[in-house]
A = this chain, B = another copy of it.
Amino acid sequence: MKIQTILSPQLFPLFADEVVGKQVVIIDILRATTSMVVMLDNGAIAVKPVEGVEEAMKLKRDNPSLLIAGERNGFKLEGFDFGNSPQEFTPERVAGKSLVITTTNGTQALSLSLAASHIWVGGFLNIDALVEAISVKGEDVFLFCAGWKGHVNLEDTLFAGAVAKSLLLKDFAIADDATRAAMVLWEQAQGDLHGFLSEASHVQRFQSMHAESDLDACLRMNTSDRAVIYEKGVLVAIPR
């Protein structure tokens, strides 16, 4: 099975035909896909990603028990229950609830991928479960980095490299230069991920706006043992 990496949504048109019927992993480490995993891990019944702020607001007007989460340019949205920090989605606040989330980059990448056979959402916090789930499906996989407003970013690229490296041990093969580059970067970064990322542009932007603890939460490895898949419009956790 082949691994390819889409380094930003801007590059997606090159892959649009190829992803049909294949697996796609949506990667938005800071913070959308990390937060999505946390929501489900902490007991949310369902998580629905939507592209537009208006769409999220309308869903809430139609069903006031829904909780809505979201950011634009990294900031929480007016009238929303949550921003996009993984630390907000505590069991106390999300267990038994249905959530809607909209983010700058992550939900856009997801919308582009709807023709895939399986759409995974993941982060460092559930990387082993994600790799296991991809491997069980046994189809070619596209690692789709959400990036930052179309630009390639380091944290999503590094995660793609980490997933690729693990998949190599499970009969997958690298099929493009983007994956090869991501894996070399991961090999350089893995010993000190925090330090390696400290100069990255999105991380600097991020650190100027958010708590350092938010970054830590997004880089922690394997605190969750469930893969998260997008099915019929909502995200669902799959027990290992």
Give 1 or 0 for each of A165-180: 1 = CB within 8 Å of chain B CB: 0000000001111101
A20 CB contacts on chain B under 8 angstroms: none
A188 CB contacts on chain B under 8 angstroms: 184, 188
In the complex, the answer to whether A199 meets B180 with C-beta atoms within 8 Å is yes
Q: Give chain A's interface residue range (CB within 8 Å of chain B).
A: 20 to 34
Does A8 make an interface contact (CB < 8 A)? yes
A178 CB contacts on chain B under 8 angstroms: 151-152
Give the distance in Å from the alpha carbon of A154 to the alpha carbon of B150 in the complex.
Answer: 20
Give 1 or 0 for each of A24-48: 1 = CB within 8 Å of chain B CB: 0000000000000000000000000
**A177: contacting residue among B10, B151, B174, B176, CB under 8 A:** B151
Does A193 make an interface contact (CB < 8 A)? no
Q: Name A175's closest neighbour in chain B (CB-CB).
A: B201
Give the distance in Å from the alpha carbon of A202 to the alpha carbon of B178 in the complex.
Answer: 11
Give the distance in Å from the alpha carbon of A151 to the alpha carbon of B177 in the complex.
Answer: 8
For A151, A152, A153, A174, which residue has the most chain B Cβ atoms within 10 angstroms?
A: A152
In the complex, the answer to whether A11 meets B8 with C-beta atoms within 8 Å is yes
Give 1 or 0 for each of A1-28: 1 = CB within 8 Å of chain B CB: 0000001101101100000000000000
A149 CB contacts on chain B under 8 angstroms: 14
List CB contacts (< 8 Å) of A132-158 with chain B. 149-154, 157
With known contacts A184-B188, A185-B184, A188-B188, A11–B152 Cβ distance under 8 A: yes
**A181: contacting residue among B11, B13, B150, B181, CB under 8 A:** B181
Enumerate 11 A-B pairs (CB-CB under 8 Å) in ascending A order: A7-B152, A8-B11, A10-B13, A11-B150, A11-B152, A14-B150, A151-B177, A151-B178, A152-B181, A157-B177, A184-B184
Apart from the given pairs A13-B150, A151-B178, A152-B181, 12 other A-B contacts in the complex at a CB distance below 8 Å: A7-B7, A8-B11, A11-B152, A14-B149, A151-B177, A152-B177, A153-B177, A174-B199, A180-B200, A180-B201, A181-B185, A184-B188
